[in-house]
Amino acid sequence: MAYQNLIVETSNHVTLIRLNRPDALNALNMELLGELGRALAEAQANDKVRCIVLTGSEKAFAAGADIKMMAEKSFVEVFAGDLFTNEEKAILKTRKPIIAAVAGYALGGGCELAMMCDFIIAADTARFGQPEVNLGVMAGMGGTQRLTRLVGRAKAMDMNLTGRFMDAEEAERAGLVSRVVPARKLMDEAMAAAQKIAEKSMITVMAIKEAVHRAEEMPLSEGVLFERRLFHALFATEDQKEGMRAFVEKREPQFRDR
Ligand code: CAA
């Protein structure tokens, strides 16, 4: 499928989606978000794809929702039209892992988009922020919710109330990103992580993704029970037999997603 706001490439079982609105620092308008939902659905449906990497440019992962698109909208338009609800759902329903590779600005909706991914690898140039307060609004795609779960109340309040940006080092310390790498190595690191995931059993990978996300939704005892039942269920797969036998036989496993 042809995209106007994305560059999408699939190779070696990994789909790389690059946000591509350079003139607007990848600001998220409805066209871009619609295309992103379609690209993710396509990657999800393609049996050859085992992991997805989402990135932007060197200057910006995404500088937020498109302010020019929103500036003159009324309450009725955004409320009745349920602005961003379906777009967010389209991203969250992807069951294959999505790694966000973030360089430069990840602000507002850009930070929120990165947080919708399963984990974030940041370049040392990355800047995260929820500056919506400067526009007379507040975060609208998870910036008060996912950020609070990821970094805790103190930093989430600070970021959302003052609108200040967090650099990559602080983001790693706070638990927003899983690792920070030199900007020139960002894509190599992200693609290598995706490749590692692509070598695993897809069944196991999808179960892990689901279980970790449930941790944010459930009390601990329910979450652990959910995890344990999925762990038990994986014993019904050929990949569990293969994985454990390969360990015992001191060889590499050959997973077949069964
Ligand atoms: N929406 C629309 N256009 C944007 C944009 C955005 N979020 N961010 C940047 N752009 C555009 C600029 O308007 C500019 O376009 P023109 O050349 O046509 O004027 C172009 O991108 C380059 O931007 P700057 O000239 O501003 O670049 P800079 O290097 O001087 O500054 C920046 C970079 C600090 C990221 C600055 O662009 C900025 O502050 N952007 C807005 C960040 C923001 O407020 N994001 C939150 C948006 S609201 C939101 O996301 C709601 C939500 O939670 C769902």
Place of tokens 């069951």: 95
Q: What is the pLDDT of residue 33?
A: 98
Confirm or reject: Cβ of 255 under 6 Å from ligand 1.
no
Q: What is the pLDDT of residue 197?
A: 98
Q: Rounded mean pLDDT of 173-190?
A: 98
Residue 224: CB atoms within 10 Å: 14
Closest CA to 13 of 201, 210, 213, 174: 201
Confirm or reject: Cβ of 232 under 6 Å from ligand 1.
no
Kindly report the protein residue whose alpha carbon is nearest to atom 37 of ligand 1: 63
Is it the case that residue 142 has pLDDT exceeding 80?
yes
- The catalytic residues are 65, 109, 112, 132
- Main-chain phi, psi angles of 120, to 5 degrees: -115, 130
Is it the case that residue 194 has pLDDT exceeding 90?
yes
Q: To test ligand 1's pocket by mutation, which of 30, 59, 67 has the most ligand atoms within 8 angstroms of CB?
A: 67
Q: How far is the CA of 251 from the centre of ligand 1 (A)?
A: 51
Is it the case that residue 161 has pLDDT exceeding 80?
yes
Q: Rounded mean pLDDT of 160-173?
A: 98
Closest CA to 176 of 115, 123, 127: 115
Q: What is the pLDDT of residue 135?
A: 98
Kindly report the protein residue whose alpha carbon is nearest to atom 41 of ligand 1: 63
Q: How far is the CA of 222 from the centre of ligand 1 (A)?
A: 42
Alpha helices in 167-250 (DSSP H): 168-174, 186-198, 202-215, 220-233, 238-248
Confirm or reject: Cβ of 27 under 6 Å from ligand 1.
yes
Banded model confidence at residue 215, pLDDT cuts 50, 70, 90 = very high
Q: Is the whole model's pTM more than 0.95, yes or no? A: yes
Q: How far is the CA of 220 from the centre of ligand 1 (A)?
A: 39
Confirm or reject: Cβ of 132 under 6 Å from ligand 1.
yes
Q: How far is the CA of 59 from the centre of ligand 1 (A)?
A: 12
Give the pairing of strands 105-107 and 127-129: parallel
Is it the case that residue 1 has pLDDT exceeding 90?
no
Q: pLDDT digits over 83-122, tens only? A: 999 999 999 999 999 999 999 999 999 999 999 999 999 9
Q: Rounded mean pLDDT of 201-219?
A: 97
Is it the case that residue 78 has pLDDT exceeding 90?
yes
